[in-house]
Structure formats: C-alpha cells, structure tokens
Structure 1
Amino acid sequence: MEAIVKFLNIYLATGRTALSILVLMFILLCTMKVSAQQQTQIEKMAAEGYAMRFSDTIASLRIQQEALFLAKKNNSRVDEAICYAYLAMTYRRLLQLKEFTRYAEQSYGIANTTADSRAIAYSNWAMGLLRSYIDDKAGAVDYMLKAYGLFAQLNEYSYCAKIGADVSYLFYPGSEVNMRKYADEALRFAEKSNDPESILHARLAVGSYLLESASSNDSLLWKQAVSFYKKTIHQAEQVEEFIVSKSNIGIAHLNIAALYMNAPKLIDEKAFLSHLEQATHIGRKYNLRNIYRSSLGLRGQFFIQKGDYRTAENLFKEGIAYQQTLPYKDNDLLAAFFGCLKELASKEKDYAAYHEYDIYFNKYNKLKYDEEMQKILQNTDARFESEKKLELIKQLEKENELEKKNKFLSYGISGVLLAGLVFVYRSYYYRQRYYQNREDILQQKQTNSELKVQLMEKESLEILADKLSIERRLLQSQMNPHFIFNLLGNIQSMILKNDRLIAISYLGKFAKLTRQVLEQSRMDRISLELEVQTLKNYMDLQQLRLNHSFDYYIDMDETVDPNVHIPPLLLQPFVENAIEHGLKPLADLRHGFLKISFHLRMDADVLECTITDNGIGLEESRSKKKNVPHTSLSTKITDERLALLYPDNPFVQLKMTDRKDVEGAGCHVFLSIPLI
C-alpha cells in the first residue's frame, strides 16, 4: 500500500487528471487483493511437506522448515504465517505441545499484522486445533469457525471440509443440531473439492451422528448407517493411495463393526469379524495404536459375549505381546487389555489369574494416570500462557483495526482532494504540503504518547508478572504429588478395611484442605484463625499419611487476636519442611513432635510465629541430600513474598536455625509479620 501511495504522488506531479488517477488506484488495489489470495509456491511447498507427516516425519519437517526459510528470505509475512501454521499442525500430530503452541501463536501473531484472508484463515485453523488439544472447546469453536468462513470465501473447499468435520466433533455431545449441520456442510464442501482425503474425513463426521442415531432399536436407521459406511469404505479403498490419514480407513471399519455388534437383530458375525480383521491389518501395517487396540478390544468383547473365553483371552494376550515388542509402551492400551483379562478371570472364577492380572492392571493404570495428570498440568499451563499472549495479540488487533480505519479515512480524503485537483491544482499542492506537515507533527506526538503508555504498561506488567510468578510458585509448593497419592492410598486402605467412617472423615478433611488452598491462594489477606484451621487440616492429614508418627501442638498466647489478618499460606511450606525433612526421617528413633507458637509484639504491632520440631535438624537433613538433586523453595518464595508485600520494612524477619537441647536435635523457624 505504501508503494501505491508513493506511485500516486509521482503520478500527481506529472499533472494527470483526478479521474485517471482514481481509475488507476482502483485497478492497483484490485490487483493487489487478488494476488494476495492466490496460493504461492512457498505455500504449496509447505503443504507438500505437511502431507508427508505420516510417511516420513523427518522429511516433512525439513521441507516445511525450508519453505519457512524462503518465506523469511523473501520477506513474505503471509507465507511466513502459513508456514508456521503447517508446522504447528505437524507438531500436533507428534504430540509435542510446546512446539505446537509456539508455532500456532507465531502464525496467529504474524497473520494479524497482515490483511491477508488466507494467512488469517490458516492461523485461526492452527489456533483452533491448539485450543481443542488443550481441552478448550469453546475457544476451539471460535477460531475454527473464523477459519471456516474465510476458507469458504476463498473457495478452498477441501479445507472447509476438514474444518467443518472437526467443528462437528467439537459440538458432540452438547449440540446434536450443530453436529449434524457442520458434518453435512463438510460433506458438501468435500464433494466439491473432489479430494479423497477430505471426502473420507467429512463422511466419517456424518457417519458419527448416524452411528449415534442407529444405537436405538430402529432397524431403518441402522440399515441407513450400515449402507453409508459400506459406501464410505468402498470409496476409500478405490483411492487408498491418495489418502494420507490411513487411520481414517481403519476408523470406518471399526465403526461399521460397532454397528454390527449393536444390531437390532442377530449379528452378522462374518461381516463383523471381516471388518475387524481389516481394521487390525491397517493398525499393524501403519503402526496405528488406537486402531489396533480398538479392533482387538471389539473382537475380544464379542467372543466374551459369545462365551468363547479362550479366543477372547488369546486376543487380549496377542495385543499385549505385540505391544511389548514395540520400542514404546502404550500404558493405556496395556491397562485396557489387562482389565479385559481380569474380567475373563472373574467370569471363570480363576482368582489366582485375577490377582496376577490385577497387579499388571494397577501398574499400567497408574502409569496411564500419571501420564494423564502430566498432560492435564501441561494443558492448564499452556492455556494460561496462551491466554496471556492472546490478550496482547488482541490489543495489537485493535490497534491494527484503528490503523485500517485511519487509512480508509485518509484514502477517502485523498479521493476528494484528487477530484478537486481539476479546478484548484496549484492551491491543492500547497494545501497538501500544509496538511502533510501537520500530520507529521500529530503522528510524532501520537508516537511519543504511545511510547509513554507502553513504558507505563511495561512497568506495570513487570510488577504484575513478578507477583503472579511468586503466587503461582507458592500454589505449586503447597501440596506435592507424593503427599496427595500417599494420603489417598491410606484412605483407600481404610475403605478396604471397612473403616469407612474414619475414611470419610479424612476424605472430608482432604477436600476441605484442597478447597482452602485453592481459595486462599487467590486472596491477599486471611484471618489468623483461618490460617490455623488450614494448618490443622494439613497436619491431621500428614499424621494419617505417616501413621501418626508425630504429634503437634498450636499455642496462641493471650496477646494475639485470632481475627488479625496475614498473607495466606505463609506458614504451610515451613510446616511441610519440618514434617518431610525433620520428622519423617526419624523412623523408629523417637516419636516426633511439632509445635507452632504465636505471639504479638505490641510495641511494633508485629505477629511473631515460631515453628519448632524435634526432628533430625538442618545439618543432618542437608548431609543426607548431598547427592540428591533437591531444592527447597519455601524460604526463597517466602522471602520474595515478604519483600513484595512489605518493601523496606525493618520488622520483617525470617530465620531458620538448628536447636540442640535435652530433647534432642531439631529445627527452629522464626518469622515476624507486620500487621500494618
């Protein structure tokens, strides 16, 4: 656009008429708009690399990186945004959330600095897939629908088909109407595109809602669904070499097998087993774990229903043996297979085999649970970081919109001035120079004002970032996973021993403690009484976890008002350190004891807190950790919080010392907290 303005200034100097200038300006703008929507060679190169993501991942990434290098070399922001979007979607397939997030956000940030519909469509597609990956369906739908609308305007029917199908899945199970709407639209777009990959993707989306409706006893709906899937499989097999996502062919076989298994009348066993064999073959041929697992699982469940337990058992064991030959372990698959074997052993009343399978089931189920928890934590952190970045991007979008409005306004004014040039050319020339000088002055003032605002925002954001960082690390340090898992294990043991009343009591304490930690971590101040209640709940649960190997006592002398307010969760990290690193290692040496005292220093209005234990002491605890990579965050986080809350306050104090007296070793923590 800047080049066009410069060209017009030169054109004006030659004395051309306003009408000819306006015609030329319109032609140039239309040409630029059309060229911006066409697929470039760089985009084609990135798309070819993306198509290789299943067959040759290394070559796929290399080709896409080469396309990105060319985009940067040519200074093409549009191609750069598209290349980043393809890379993001490739790393999604590789389940690498960090790279997936980075490339999707880069694509979105760059695309929104352009006015190119194609780049914006790609970036919104990548962001929609990212939000779906981290379980944010609402956000995913917003981004996907924006990409869907832009690709529809560009007549990119294959992309519309893929996105429409994904949007249909996002509406399941909340809105059957929208699920059907976008699946049907996806199929119409796919048929227009004549792309085998898109057609299969869209037909599976339509098949999904047909599969749901055919689960009833309506034989007509069931026949329609079976007929649809047969046609889908037949079409896919005719063009299998052009379909990149081979897993979709396996899914079609699995879905029609599920239809046969849930048939209103007697099952067509031959057709059912044939489709499962096809799915199993595809799963093993292309190393598709989900397809292979589902096909074996359905076959095993079928033979269990028939009462053929030996065949079912052999199928599950075959799946386990195959999985154990692979260089990786799919804990979800192994847990599912051992769970099925447990069910078989239970039906045959083979309790020895049941016990053996249960050991493996619990082992792989725990590993699966750990992986899922890690994924949940990663997704939560990714959502938090992504939302912060998106806020900044939205701010940039608003600024770009304002800039566009200003540009359109300036073009309108320029058009009026150009029309008047026919009558008052010389007068307009000097007037134009006057306006240009005035605009330069205003822009300079605006630039200076924006720099001041940005500087103030930066300082505020840095302070807020420091506070959020400390608060997040504080929340992360409150209850470690070992404490949670051991505690829940003890409660589970109580339930198994029929100590249900005690188990329910401790489960209530755990729920209350979790709620208190989450609520208080968002508060600036809480009452001392509430802090003490939280500490009691925490220490009661620690006593349960450590088999009551220690006692505790809380002493609040008469000078202290329980309603005074202090920062939340300030003492818990030190109580945890005293229990974990002081009292827990005592073993059978002696019974542990923990004392917490509160005293008000009236001359300075300062609350003095002491935490004393009879554990092994600081020196011995440190000596045991010389070869163990461990860093205690309690002192550092508390120091940072106190420095942020009470800057330059001389009464703030935190000391940790060893105590050695007649009762033995231990640790003494002293903390003074100003109340004003």
Structure 2
Amino acid sequence: MHEKTTFNLIKIHKSKWLFCFLILCITNLKAQQISSIEKIAAYGYSKRFSDSSASKKMQQQALELAKKRKNIDDEVICYSYLALTQRRLLHIKEFTRYADTAFILAEKTNKIRVKAFATLAMGALKSYIDDKPQALDYLLKSYSLFSKIKAHDQCAKIAADISYLFSPASPEKVQKYAQEAMEHAAKARDAESQLYARLAYGGYLTDKLESGYSNEWENTLDFLKNTVIIAEKKSFDIISKSNIGIAYVNLADLYSRGPKPINEEALLQNLGKATDIAKKYNIKIIYRSSIGLQGMYYSEKGDYAKAEMLFIEGIKYQLSLPYTDNYLLATFYNCLKEVAVKRNDYEAYYSYDTLYTKYNQLKYNETTQKLLQNADARFESSKKMERIKQLELENELEQQNKLLGYGIAGVLLIGLVFMFRSYYFRQRYYLKREEILKQEQTNSELKVQLMEKETIENLAARLSLERRLLRSQMDPHFIFNALGNIQSMILQKDTIPAVSYLNKFAKLTRQILEQSRQELIALHEEVETLKNYIELQQLRLNNSFEYAIVCDESVDDDILIPPLLIQPFIENAVEHGLKPKSKEEKGMLQINFTQQTDQKNLICTIKDNGIGLTASRKLKTKENHQSLSTTITHERLSKMQKDHPYAGFKVLERESENGKTGCIVIINIPIS
C-alpha cells in the first residue's frame, strides 16, 4: 500500500525528492520497531525477580546472537538490559561495565531507540552511585528520546524516577514528572508502568501532606486505596513485586499518620499483606518497613510485649536466611532497645544494646565500603568518558590524514604545476593540526592521571578527618566518670535521677554518632546535643557550675550548620576553665548565638568565669596535654574558608571584672 501511494504521488507531482523523503521515513519507522533479539532480551529481563539465573542466561544468549549477526543496535539494547539487571542484583562492577559498553557502542548508531536505552542504563548507574546531577541529565535525555518514539511504558517509568530525583528540592518538578508519568502510563495500558507511575504520584501527594496541606488527607487516602486495588487486581501482570509491597506500606503509613483514632484494622491488614509479599519474594526493604511500622504502632499504643515479639520475630526470620542483613538487624535491635526503656527492663536493654552495637558497626563498615565502591565507580566512569574523548580525537586525526591523501590525489589530477605547491602547504597544515591533536591527547591523558591522584588523595583526607572527628567527640575520661556517677546513684537507690541521666547519656551518644555522619544539621539539634553534654558534665563535676544558652531573636533555629563544631570548645571551657576553679565560687558557662545574614554567618560566643587562659596554659604545660578536638575543628573550619572566607574562631582572655577571670571564644560558623 505504501508503494502504491508513493507511485501515485510521483505520477502526480513528478518530484524525485518527495520519493526519497518517503523512503527515508519508512526506513526510519522500521528502524524503531522492536527486533526479535530485543524481545528475547526483554523477556529475560522480565524474569529478574522470579529467576535471576535464567534471566541473565537468556539475556546473554540474546547478546551472543546480536554479536553473531553483527547488529550493533541489538548489542546496545542487550547490554542496557544486562546493566539494569545487575542493578537489581547489586553487582556494581558488572553494572558499570555493561552500562559503559552500551553507552560507548551507542555512539556508532543514530537510532533513537538504541540511544534511549543506552542513556537510560547510564542514568540508572549514576543514580545508583549517588551522582544525582549526572543521573538527572542522562534520564532527562533518555525520557526525551523515548518520548519521540512514543514508548509510553518506558516514559512512565523514567518520568517517575525523575520525580523521585527532584524530591524534595523542587516540589514543582516532582509534581510535573509524576503527572507526566501518570499520563504515559494511561497511554501504555501496562499494569507495570501504571503501578510505577501511581507510586510516584502517591509519593508527591504524601509529601504535600507533610508540607502543610493536611486538608487533602482524604483525597490522598482514596488515591492510595485505588493504587492498592489496581496492584491486587493486576498482580499477575506486575513483574516488580516489590512495588506491590510498597503500595501496601505507603497506605499503612498514611493510616498511621491520619486523624485519630487510627483505623487499626486497615493499618494492620495492609502491613500484613506487605509482610507476606516481602517473605514470598525475599524483599528486604518491604519486610523491614512493614515489621518496623507494626512494632512502632504497638509500641506507641503501649502494647510493648506485642512490639517486642514482632521485632524478635523479624530478627529470627532474618537470621534464618542464607545471608546477613546487618542494616536490618541493627534497626530491629535499636527498636528493641527503645521498647526495653519504655518497659524499664534495663537488663534486656543492655543485652539488646550489645547486639545493636555489633550489627551497627558491621552496617557502618558496609556503608563505608559502599561509599568507596561508589567513589571508585564514579572515577572509573569519568575516566572512561575521558578515554572516549581521547578516541574521538584519534579518530579525528585519522580522518584528517585520510582527507590529506584525498587532497593529494586531487592535486595530482589537476596538474603537475600545482602539485608541489598544493602538497607543500597542505602537508604543512595537517602536520601542524596533527601536532595540536597529539598535544590535546597528551593533555587528556595527564588530566586523567591528575583526576585519579586528586580523587584518591581527597577521599583519603576526608576519611582520615572523619575518623579523627569520631574519635575526638567523646572523651574516655568523661564517659568513665559519667557512668561512674550514674552507677553511684543506682547503688544509692536514686533510681529516677539515675535513669534520667542514663537516658541523657544514651541520647547524647546516639546524637554524636548520627550527627558526625551528616554534612549539615539544624541549629536546634546542635543546641539539644550541647544541653545533653553540659548537663552530663554538671553531673560529673557535682553541679559545680551553671550554664545558659541564649539565641538572639533574629536567629532561626532551623538554619543548617556543620555538626559538632561547638562541643570541643565547651569541653575546653569545662575541663580547662571551670573544673580547676576554686569550689568556693560557682562556675558559669554562657553560650550566645547571633546571626549575620549578609555574610551568611552564625556567630557563637562562649564565655566562662574559669581560671582564664594564662593559668590554663600553665596547667596544660604541666600536664603535657594537646587538644585533638580543637585541632580537628580548626582543620574543618579552614576547609570551609574556600567557600566561606569568614569561617573561623578566636580565643580571648576575658577582661577582668571585679577581680574575676575567664575566657571568651568567638566562632564564625557558615550557614546554609
């Protein structure tokens, strides 16, 4: 039919260019159709949850068939599917290798569908290694390419992933891409993409409730209910079973945060279904979320025995599996600790805390290893991009040399008279061009080496500083004395103060460990940590001093500052200023916060009426003491001065007031 239409057009208009245009259109249309090899790879990819071994084997067979037929387009798509499968299996090296191979091979083709798959795989890789800006660039490009060929199923999933990446920084873009995901899913009529899109849009509605739109809770509830109904009705057609579990968890979580009284039956019913899904398909994150929400609900309800039973059941189930999930075990033991505190069962608290410490350390080691792997993957990916540019320069050089040969042949045909002159000037031009390209190639290689050196040095310096920071945050003498005082209270049967201070000590320890891994925290969190620390120091020193923390009216307690910058100076003020002070006079520690909006600085002023700098230095000389925490704080503030020139601190002798001594510390802290 196409040939007949084309023939009639030629006959009517007698236009050869129109005939060529139609041929190109038909060729391009056929090029966008799904090949038999891609269908094999896609079917293998669909089995990644049910049978990962068979999934990889089928995709490898499709890849070998594409190589045998020397079809680069099918090779790229097979490599892309293999990369996405490795993401599901958490194999970072294979994931990186397949994604990079797909992206490099895609440069040799101009097919939209092929390039769309390659950029999708690369975007998924960047998202996996926490390179959000690069992930957004690749996914937006892939989304644009798939939109051109109207691949609505792929567009729905990619738009949903883009909305997650924009959250919570840009609510408008979250809404935009979540809505577009819903529109593409409706056109695709595919159960998998429909659930994927609805989860993204449901996430946007839930975030909107947290932003203050509580009057839309009923609308959000209806939307999540319909999502669960669709997931149950089309569960056979949905490959990603984890998404079904997420739908149940999201609905249960919304019930838990809804108006009182909570619909307990609906909450527990959805969590039970989520737990069944997690056990059946071995989905760790769904299992952790469902058991955790149930335990938290019973704990808040006051049924501590039921909450404890649920967490213990979760631990037993995890330990029965052939692998160990340290993150899940640490989470459950931490929940059991909180239940033990509420039940005043301190013996159980101690046993749970011992196991929590064990698995939490293992979890931290795994997290550190993953960070190193991600940093290495980012570096390798960047290095490969540089290699690609280098190869492009070499290809350009090769093309220039070919053009040189064609030029010489052309000159020979024109005549012997112009041959020498033309050859001389062209040869000179291309040799100079070759030297430039070789120099650029050399520069690229040096740049790769420099990137490798800088990446390793920066990573080593950062890890070293973080380890030293963690070691400096808790003084062993302070811990020993605080625990000794608490033990003394318990022996004297002062149970209530002892429990109060024990909770403060546990809370302080947890705050310092958590905040030391964060880049920024809110000011009110820092103040809360300081209060806990100072009150424990008061206990240790038999309430020999008082303290006051005052924030200026212009200071917003939600501003973000680097964590644990102020505590070392408080420690110095107590240890070297107030502690040596005569017992006849009451010590006083004052902390004031003011804000300089124009310089983006928070000024923290610490005053004490201790023995003063001069006397303190003499004691330090005798004790041969070196303040590690102050040194690290100085290093941290020095690193911040690149972006915030006002960052730093100074220590001054307090002016004598009625014969009193003391010290003043002024800290300029960058705020975000």
TM range (shorter): 0.5 to 0.7
Match of 2:476 in 1: 493
1:161 aligns to 2:159 (yes or no)? no
Match of 1:270 in 2: 265
Match of 2:628 in 1: 506
Task: Tell me by how many angstroms 1:487 deviates.
Answer: 6.7
- Give the unaligned 5+ runs of structure 1: 1-18, 405-429, 521-676
Partner-residue secondary structure (3-state), 1:88: helix
Match of 1:383 in 2: 378
AA aligned to 2:190 is: D
1:7-37 deviation line (CA, Å, top 9, x unaligned): xxxxxxxxxxxx8764554344333322221
AA aligned to 2:74 is: D
Q: Is the 8 A contact 1:226 1:256 kept in 2?
A: yes
Task: Tell me by how many angstroms 1:458 deviates.
Answer: 4.0
Q: In the aligned structure 2, how far is the partner of 1:25 from the partner of 1:443?
A: 37
Q: In the aligned structure 2, how far is the partner of 1:136 from the partner of 1:476?
A: 16
1:196-251 deviation line (CA, Å, top 9, x unaligned): 00000000001101122234786641111111111111111111111110011111
Seen in structure 2, the aligned counterparts of structure 1 residues 443 and 89 have a Cα distance that, compared at 3 Å, is farther
Deviates more, 1:319-328 or 1:505-514: 505-514
Q: Is the 8 A contact 1:491 1:506 kept in 2?
A: no
Seen in structure 2, the aligned counterparts of structure 1 residues 332 and 35 have a Cα distance that, compared at 3 Å, is same
1:331-358 deviation line (CA, Å, top 9, x unaligned): 1111111111110111122211111111
Q: Is the 8 A contact 1:113 1:400 kept in 2?
A: no
Q: Is the 8 A contact 1:346 1:354 kept in 2?
A: yes
Equivalence map 1:166-177=2 (5 Å): 166-177=161-172
Match of 1:204 in 2: 199
Seen in structure 2, the aligned counterparts of structure 1 residues 511 and 394 have a Cα distance that, compared at 3 Å, is farther
Match of 1:110 in 2: 105
Q: Is the 8 A contact 2:155 2:181 kept in 1?
A: yes
Q: Is the 8 A contact 2:383 2:448 kept in 1?
A: no
Q: Is the 8 A contact 1:167 1:182 kept in 2?
A: yes
Match of 1:317 in 2: 312
Seen in structure 2, the aligned counterparts of structure 1 residues 152 and 395 have a Cα distance that, compared at 3 Å, is farther
Task: Tell me by how many angstroms 1:387 deviates.
Answer: 2.2
AA aligned to 1:212 is: D
Partner-residue secondary structure (3-state), 1:115: coil
Seen in structure 2, the aligned counterparts of structure 1 residues 80 and 150 have a Cα distance that, compared at 3 Å, is same
1:424-482 deviation line (CA, Å, top 9, x unaligned): xxxxxx99x979x99x9999999877655554344444455555555656667769869
AA aligned to 2:297 is: F
Q: In the aligned structure 1, how far is the partner of 2:391 from the partner of 2:444?
A: 16
Q: Is the 8 A contact 1:215 1:222 kept in 2?
A: no
1:293 aligns to 2:270 (yes or no)? no
AA aligned to 1:179 is: V
Task: Tell me by how many angstroms 1:485 deviates.
Answer: 6.6
* TM-score of the two chains, using structure 2 as the length reference: 0.64
Q: In the aligned structure 2, how far is the partner of 1:21 from the partner of 1:132?
A: 49
Match of 2:228 in 1: 233
Match of 1:32 in 2: 27
Task: Tell me by how many angstroms 1:282 deviates.
Answer: 0.6
CA RMSD of aligned residues (A): 3.7
Task: Tell me by how many angstroms 1:513 deviates.
Answer: 4.9
Partner-residue secondary structure (3-state), 1:214: helix
Equivalence map 1:238-637=2 (5 Å): 238-393=233-388, 452-466=435-449, 469=452, 484=467, 488=471, 491-496=474-479, 497=481, 498=537, 500-501=571-572, 505-513=627-635
Task: Tell me by how many angstroms 1:388 deviates.
Answer: 3.0
Q: In the aligned structure 2, how far is the partner of 1:476 from the partner of 1:158?
A: 40
Task: Tell me by how many angstroms 1:491 deviates.
Answer: 3.9
Task: Tell me by how many angstroms 1:265 deviates.
Answer: 2.9
Q: Is the 8 A contact 2:397 2:434 kept in 1?
A: no
Task: Tell me by how many angstroms 1:71 deviates.
Answer: 1.7
1:603-623 deviation line (CA, Å, top 9, x unaligned): xxxxxxxxxxxxxxxxxxxxx
Match of 2:179 in 1: 184
Q: Is the 8 A contact 2:329 2:359 kept in 1?
A: yes
Q: In the aligned structure 2, how far is the partner of 1:401 from the partner of 1:193?
A: 42
Match of 1:664 in 2: none
Match of 1:57 in 2: 52
1:45-98 deviation line (CA, Å, top 9, x unaligned): 111111111111111111111111122222222111111111111111111111
Task: Tell me by how many angstroms 1:130 deviates.
Answer: 1.1
Match of 1:533 in 2: none
Q: In the aligned structure 2, how far is the partner of 1:478 from the partner of 1:132?
A: 25
Partner-residue secondary structure (3-state), 2:108: coil
Seen in structure 2, the aligned counterparts of structure 1 residues 220 and 403 have a Cα distance that, compared at 3 Å, is farther
Equivalence map 1:94-133=2 (5 Å): 94-133=89-128
- Matched residue count: 474
1:590-637 deviation line (CA, Å, top 9, x unaligned): xxxxxxxxxxxxxxxxxxxxxxxxxxxxxxxxxxxxxxxxxxxxxxxx
Q: Is the 8 A contact 2:59 2:78 kept in 1?
A: yes
Q: Is the 8 A contact 2:390 2:441 kept in 1?
A: no
Task: Tell me by how many angstroms 1:508 deviates.
Answer: 2.7
Match of 1:592 in 2: none
Match of 1:69 in 2: 64
AA aligned to 2:476 is: S
Q: In the aligned structure 2, how far is the partner of 1:445 from the partner of 1:26?
A: 42
Q: In the aligned structure 1, how far is the partner of 2:138 from the partner of 2:466?
A: 40
Task: Tell me by how many angstroms 1:111 deviates.
Answer: 0.9
AA aligned to 2:315 is: I
Q: Is the 8 A contact 1:165 1:202 kept in 2?
A: yes
Q: In the aligned structure 2, how far is the partner of 1:29 from the partner of 1:265?
A: 65
Q: In the aligned structure 2, how far is the partner of 1:375 from the partner of 1:23?
A: 57
1:82 aligns to 2:77 (yes or no)? yes
* TM-score of the two chains, using structure 1 as the length reference: 0.64
AA aligned to 1:488 is: R
Q: In the aligned structure 1, how far is the partner of 2:181 from the partner of 2:30?
A: 27
Seen in structure 2, the aligned counterparts of structure 1 residues 74 and 305 have a Cα distance that, compared at 3 Å, is same
